[in-house]
Amino acid sequence: MKKIQHITTVLEYTSIEELDSIYQNLINKAKEATQSSYSPYSNFKVGAAILLENGEIIQGSNQENSAYPSGLCAERVAMFYANSKHPDIPVKCIAIAGYSNDQFLERPLPPCGSCRQVLLETQERHNTPMKVLLYGQNQILEIENIKQLLPLYFDKDMLDE
């Protein structure tokens, strides 16, 4: 038996001003997107903003449904739209923000497991590293490659074995 460790590297910022202006703008777009959330059941508004390699920004927010599992997270709403609008353009970065009880969350909001799987497949599809920015009022986290957030991931290569 041998122990294998998977180490995740995360960069931490305590102020948005520490980031390049392009990423400050992307975070602001994610914050803006929270306001288009349809979340009457959880009252938890999530916004995502995706920066494409051509400079275009795609925004999305969580969309809930009275049949609860039919709803979708902000990250997947934005990513599926980006991929359907521009199937051949790689994604450089996704910024995520959360809003609840009339304010932006203090802590960064990490994407759920299903969203990590979808983001990872987009990265693999374009073979271009995707940066992830998690916004919180007190802390901003940057992950330089979505693979960092999903060790031992399942991907299409498994289907060929």
Residues of this chain that interact with ligand THU (CB under 6 A) are 39, 42, 44, 46, 62, 64, 71, 73-75, 109, 111-112, 115
CA 23 to chain centre: 13
- Find the shortest distance in angstroms from Cβ 126 to ligand THU: 21
Shortest Cβ 45–ligand THU spacing (Å)? 8
Count of CB atoms situated within 10 Å of the CB of 85: 11
CA-to-CA distance for 158 and 136, rounded, in angstroms? Answer: 35
53-to-26, 27, 49, 91 alpha-carbon distances in Å:
13, 16, 13, 6
Pick between residue 51 and residue 109 the one whose CB is nearest to ligand THU.
Answer: 109
Does 75 participate in catalysis according to the annotation?
A: yes
Looking at the Cβ atoms of 109 and 130, the one nearer to ligand THU is 109
Q: Give the C-alpha distances (Å, rounded to integers) separating 102 from 99, 106, 115, 130.
A: 7, 12, 25, 30
Quote the least distance from Cβ 77 to ligand THU, whole Å. Answer: 8
Nearer residue to ligand THU within complex by CB, 62 or 123? 62
The catalytic site residues sit at: 75
